């Protein structure tokens, strides 16, 4: 193997076999994969270059081909496991040009490999594959059939290998450190940006030899009325007595994540929040018990929602998603969901962010876990921070 890919040849062979089986079942001769997480999963490629066009070509045989900007080709040689002949770069005159487009180069690469009239799968519902890219590729491959293969690789990533689970456990250790830092440092008068600086320092420092990578989502740390919204970040305001702040954070180790959420109240929390906390914790326990191999993702959601209904608490939306290897802007894998209508069967080795957060009219309460589906019994939470509403007078 070439480069510094983080896994063994056998692990990448396993992944390619899964992807190729899915290709065959979909009737495809090749796939062009643009999701950075899927690229890394297949090849080991790791670089902050996903703002330009790049991707991985997988055919029925041989090594996959990483294709991208020429200057990023050198990063491919440093991080991908394939030989240099299968790491290709296009000229910079294609980059952000109004006269040319990188997909013109990709079309020539595909034609040179006998794919000019092939059935090729592309990830049409993807952050990194634009409408213009698709149109240009179609124009330059007039005899090919481009089919939507969104999620084809994502679904192969659901069951993690032992090596991947090891990386997620390392990320969980960093998540514990990051969350402990947030809870210890939060206090009235603390500027939110200073708190987030401490959080990010803890995450990047890591734990022992397990260094921290950048997470796919920045720290989400809203307080008070801001915490009624799910995805606000931070500002320079000072934390106030009489407000709840939730922390949605994740450690990251070699691009693997273990998201974790906890909530802290500065002062004395209102009785309504304490009652809701008790219901939420009861619901989480029920969800964890339902998160067993052979059950379905909807069984987790239904178990939690049954407890909410018993306590008269209304909640909508999904309650979790698979996690593992990810790049910005999302640490979810975009395949199965923990929600009442999803019937994905749970298998040992799946890892989810079980995220039954509650956003009420005047405050938010996020208490979540990264969970591993085990061979026998309920799911295993991978982080160790106590599951409760934290209170600091």
Per-residue pLDDT 10s for the chain (393 aa) are 667 899 999 999 999 999 999 999 999 999 999 999 999 999 999 999 999 999 999 999 999 999 999 999 999 999 999 999 999 999 999 999 999 999 999 999 999 999 999 999 999 999 999 999 999 999 999 999 999 999 999 999 999 999 999 999 999 999 999 999 999 999 999 999 999 999 999 999 999 999 999 999 999 999 999 999 999 999 999 999 999 999 999 999 999 999 999 999 999 999 999 999 999 999 999 999 999 999 999 999 999 999 999 999 999 899 999 999 999 999 999 999 999 999 999 999 999 999 999 999 999 999 999 999 999 999 999 999 999 999 998
β-strand partners of 58? 31
Pinpoint the alpha helices (H) of 243-365.
271-290, 297-310
Architecture of domain 9-156: 3-Layer(aba) Sandwich (3.40)
For the chain, residues classed under CATH 3.90.230.10 are 162-392
Phi, psi of 160 (to 5 degrees): -85, 145
Q: Are 93 and 100 in contact (CB under 8 A)?
A: yes
pTM over 0.85: yes
Sign of the Cα pseudo-torsion (326, 329, 367, 304, in order): negative
Domain 162-392 has CATH 3.90.230.10: yes
For the chain, residues classed under CATH 3.40.350.10 are 9-156
Cα distance between residue 217 and residue 321, in whole Å: 15
């Amino acid at each position: 193997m070439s480069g510094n890919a983080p896994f063994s040849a056998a692990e990448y062979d396993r992944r390619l076999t899964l992807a190729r089986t899915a290709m065959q079942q979909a009737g495809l001769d090749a796939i062009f994969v643009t999701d950075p997480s899927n690229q890394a999963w297949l090849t080991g490629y790791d670089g902050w270059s996903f703002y330009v066009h790049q991707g991985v070509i997988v055919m029925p045989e041989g090594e996959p081909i990483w294709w991208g900007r020429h200057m990023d080709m050198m990063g491919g040689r440093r991080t991908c496991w394939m030989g240099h002949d299968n790491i290709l770069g296009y000229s910079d005159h294609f980059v952000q040009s109004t006269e040319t487009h990188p997909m013109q180069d990709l079309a020539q690469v595909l034609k040179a490999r006998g794919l000019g009239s092939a059935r090729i799968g592309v990830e049409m519902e993807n952050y990194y594959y634009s409408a213009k890219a698709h149109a240009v590729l179609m124009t330059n491959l007039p005899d090919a059939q481009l089919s939507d293969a969104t999620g084809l690789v994502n679904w192969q990533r659901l069951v993690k290998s032992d090596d991947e689970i090891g990386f997620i456990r390392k990320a969980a250790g960093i998540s514990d450190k990051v969350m402990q830092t947030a809870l210890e440092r939060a206090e009235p008068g603390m500027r939110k940006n200073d708190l987030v600086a401490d959080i990010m320092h803890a995450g990047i420092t890591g734990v022992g030899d397990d260094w921290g990578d950048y997470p796919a989502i920045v720290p989400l740390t809203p307080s008070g009325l801001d915490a009624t919204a799910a995805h606000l970040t931070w500002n320079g305001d000072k934390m106030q007595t009489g407000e709840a702040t939730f922390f949605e954070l994740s450690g990251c180790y070699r691009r693997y994540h273990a998201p974790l959420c906890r909530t802290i109240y500065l002062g004395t929390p209102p009785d309504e929040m304490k009652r809701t906390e008790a219901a939420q914790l009861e619901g989480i326990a029920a969800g964890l018990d339902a998160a067993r191999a052979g059950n379905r993702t909807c069984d987790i959601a239904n178990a939690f929602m049954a407890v909410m209904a018993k306590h008269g608490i209304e909640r909508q939306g999904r309650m979790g998603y698979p996690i593992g290897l990810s790049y910005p802007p999302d640490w979810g894998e975009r395949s199965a969901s923990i929600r009442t209508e999803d019937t994905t069967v749970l298998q040992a080795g799946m890892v989810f962010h079980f995220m039954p957060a509650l956003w009420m009219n005047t405050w938010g309460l996020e208490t979540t876990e990264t969970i591993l589906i085990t061979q026998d019994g309920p799911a295993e939470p991978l982080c160790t921070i106590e599951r409760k509403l934290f209170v600091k007078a």
